[in-house]
């Protein structure tokens, strides 16, 4: 029998009203997340990959119970999030976001900010001191940092402070939204290694949200690729990146910078290699922002960018179909292959 997932999202939908229509006119409704479902097993690192506007941050906020879905549910060990959420349950899911400066109070010493969640959850002073020492050791920060203010320490150290604060309540699930994107590559490697260590040491389950497939490849066990608010492909990381099925996943992988220098890639070569990107009409939309003004669900959202799109793709939206054990893609052409 299959183990019950630690966290499961089913049919998540969340819309925003676009503000750009004008000062007084209300903009059209945009479905940032449009029917996203996934399940993460305990101890697993699950990557959620997509470009700006794909809805990945909105998914992260719904899973970490900081945003209510319009439809769909998130369940922790089979029990759906309720509102208001009991304190003890809220502690089970913690989140770390990209902007470490914005996530900390600039006027409070770091020590105080680490202590706060423990105070809120009624943990005594002696126990708090023990826990904070343990947390500092976990994330590799010196005690002297406790007396500093967030503005006085480096970005990498702040990201560790956020990690420590998120871990303070011993959560089961840690949601990380682009936690390393703002860091230099050497510091990024330190934080990625730290996350991998924490995962092993504390049997932590991770929802790791990122635009960087390279980092996801290193840290995660499974990955879902998000496009225009829907999952277009998911599966084991090695399989999705090694043999991507969806044309969007393939385009994302092709667009990655090289690992090592090879033959000089000229513009012509790169465009020939990525026809689905090159033929996009820049007059209508920028590439990164798919047209979601029509939330009626007609057609595949990627069809406008896809070189292989057929009339079927423009007529009906593909659903996720299983390709092999655990590997799914939402593409009419993949199913036909």
Binding residues for another protein (CB under 8 A):
51-52, 154-156, 184-190, 192-193, 196, 211-215, 217-218, 238, 241, 251-262, 265-267, 270-271, 274, 277, 281-283, 286-289
Q: Is the Cβ of residue 42 or residue 278 nearer to another protein in the bound state?
A: 278
d(CA 321, CA 237): 17
To another protein, the closest distance from the beta carbon of 25 in angstroms equals 16
To another protein, the closest distance from the beta carbon of 220 in angstroms equals 10
Nearest residue to 59 (alpha-carbon basis) of 226, 234, 301, 241: 226
To another protein, the closest distance from the beta carbon of 262 in angstroms equals 8
End-to-end CA separation in angstroms for the chain:
32
Q: At what angle do helices 185-202 and 155-167 cross, to 10 degrees?
A: 20
CA angle 135, 237, 56 (to 5 degrees): 70
In whole angstroms, how far apart are CA 243 and each of 8, 20, 22, 218? 26, 39, 44, 16
d(CA 113, CA 115): 5
Q: Is the Cβ of residue 241 or residue 334 nearer to another protein in the bound state?
A: 241
To another protein, the closest distance from the beta carbon of 234 in angstroms equals 18
Decide if 92 contacts 171 (C-beta within 8 A): yes
To another protein, the closest distance from the beta carbon of 182 in angstroms equals 10
Q: Is the Cβ of residue 172 or residue 178 nearer to another protein in the bound state?
A: 178
- Residue 313: φ, ψ to 5°: -60, -35
Q: Is the Cβ of residue 49 or residue 169 nearer to another protein in the bound state?
A: 49
Q: Is the Cβ of residue 13 or residue 237 nearer to another protein in the bound state?
A: 237
């Amino acid at each position: 029998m299959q183990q019950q997932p630690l966290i499961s999202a089913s049919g998540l939908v969340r819309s925003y009203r676009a503000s750009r229509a004008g000062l007084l006119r209300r903009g059209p409704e945009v479905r940032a997340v449009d029917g996203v479902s996934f399940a993460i097993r305990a101890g697993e690192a699950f990557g959620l990959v997509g470009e700006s506007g794909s809805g990945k941050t909105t998914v992260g906020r719904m899973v970490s119970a900081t945003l209510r879905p319009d439809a769909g549910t998130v369940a922790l060990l089979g029990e759906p999030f309720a509102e208001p959420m009991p304190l003890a349950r809220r502690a089970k899911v913690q989140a770390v976001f990209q902007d470490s400066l914005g996530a900390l109070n600039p006027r409070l010493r770091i020590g105080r900010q680490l202590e706060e969640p423990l105070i809120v959850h009624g943990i005594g002073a002696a126990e708090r001191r023990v826990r904070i020492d343990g947390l500092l050791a976990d994330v590799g920060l010196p005690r002297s940092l406790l007396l500093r203010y967030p503005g006085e320490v480096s970005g990498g150290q702040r990201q560790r402070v956020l990690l420590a604060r998120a871990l303070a309540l011993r959560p089961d699930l840690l949601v990380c939204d682009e936690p390393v994107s703002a860091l230099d590559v050497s510091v990024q490697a330190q934080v990625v290694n730290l996350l991998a260590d924490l995962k092993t040491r504390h049997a932590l389950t991770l929802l790791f949200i990122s635009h960087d497939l390279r980092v996801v490849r290193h840290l995660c066990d499974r990955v879902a690729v998000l496009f225009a608010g829907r999952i277009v492909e998911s599966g084991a990381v090695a399989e999705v990146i090694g043999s991507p099925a969806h044309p969007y996943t393939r385009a994302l992988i092709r667009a990655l910078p090289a690992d090592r220098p090879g033959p000089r890639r000229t513009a012509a070569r790169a465009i020939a290699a990525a026809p689905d990107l090159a033929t996009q009409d820049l007059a209508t939309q920028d590439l990164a922002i798919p047209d979601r003004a029509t939330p009626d669900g007609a057609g595949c959202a990627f069809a406008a960018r896809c070189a292989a799109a057929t009339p079927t793709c423009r007529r009906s939206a593909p659903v996720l179909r299983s390709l092999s054990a655990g590997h799914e893609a939402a593409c009419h052409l993949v199913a036909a292959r």
